A and B are shown apart, each in its own frame.
Chain A
């Protein structure tokens, strides 16, 4: 069986441009960066959040606090699959009264975001939470939408979207595979494997 076609839908320059545009949209919508914090969801949301914060600093000249959020303990499928590996949650600021820009690589079913909203609530009561994603691939299972989207990517439900970032994968880019990948096509777990947003049930 031939391997399904893998298309590069965003290259390094596209990822950079999308983040620059999102940063400008964040500044425009919030009339600056006053009271703003940027929180990335593990794994690839974390480097994306740092990059967004750097771009915001470039536009406004002010450092925006960044944090990292692990949602493993808040997932809605605990007990349905082997336990997810945990990561460090690091929110070195008081959330009360802030506007949180939550950052993830791919928005798909929306379940990760729901878990992230619950997790954030346990740390405090932000004034508002906004969502930024590099790719929105559709197929939502919950009534959620993103405020800032790098690229809308209509996909087949059994397709796979892979976001690669230099911090975790050695290079930047977004790959799409239509249809299920054949077995043995390398999807090791762990921090260094490319992110796969695949339907699991």
Chain B
């Protein structure tokens, strides 16, 4: 059952060929053997086994809740799950236990999914390599000396290593799609507001969105159907019901128009081998009947600059709540002001401090208009670029990342270079549109991701194209060799 999809497991569970308890035990054992990958920061074996037993009991009564009932899953450690720790891979939240039910986790549990544990990440989701974690880095199952990407590196690694078929992550500037690409799995960032952010620890509130990692687009559809839909507890939650997605997976893309932004393939863009794999994938979609045309996103080259101003400004405000008063770590001090400063200085890691400082600077008197306001206007221009492009195409295709997985330690000393890992992903967050990364081959033994972007709320078309591609190719069935990370137990 290892490396099986959630849909395969659903069929096996429905056919009585396996029990939820067996799947959960296998996932927990695989997680233990994969400790060297650093994918998990917390496992909940007792609760998971109890939940799995309850799932088996429901099924025995003829009360199974749907395809996810009994399927083991993992949550990124910033998705609040009632009664479980939630540390955001930060020292400042080291002892935090969630006192309430976040919507995404609660909906996944309501669908019967069995949460086995919580995955590693860059601290507060700030990073592109999973190296900014108080627990140490997560590693890429295809080459443990390399990054799994970030910030949802642990979720990507857990799915790529075959520990769980589904994991949730969050994507503020590419934090689902980039690690999915680097680990050779599928990662979906839904439309902004599609999945409730209630219980998603905030990084940049106008950009953050929860989404799934899986082996297939079809599995992403299953998960999104379960977790999407309006939530009155999130004022930015779209007033739309959960979309019906599985019915859209027809395998048919004939006549569909795929836009190819010239800015995503321009000189100085993706590494040659990455560009080649992506072009091959697009050619495959053409053979399936899709048409392609060049489109332009003239402001895409400004996306990274725009993103790092807006995201850090919002982060500096959101992270003001970590003050040592109501939760988390507190440093001893004689006065309140001293306590704030010590708590925050000891509790946050260097990348988080850097972004708080940058965000504070761009919001501060005298610089607000030149930086923050300017970035918000550039954001408008980029949004309009996408509106214009989607007038002439149904989805946009390109590389997810400029390169395959880089070596751990290679970029930690150069923050700006690290930020440029997100060059193709941040635009979707700024525009609020959905995006997905799919495995589309290898370069020097490392996975390459094809990124598809869709119109707002049109996850159905995005997933239809992704699923059609996966029906015609077998890249998503390739798996890394567990001998690369498993220790003799």
Partners in one complex: no
Chain A residues within CB distance 8 Å of chain B: none
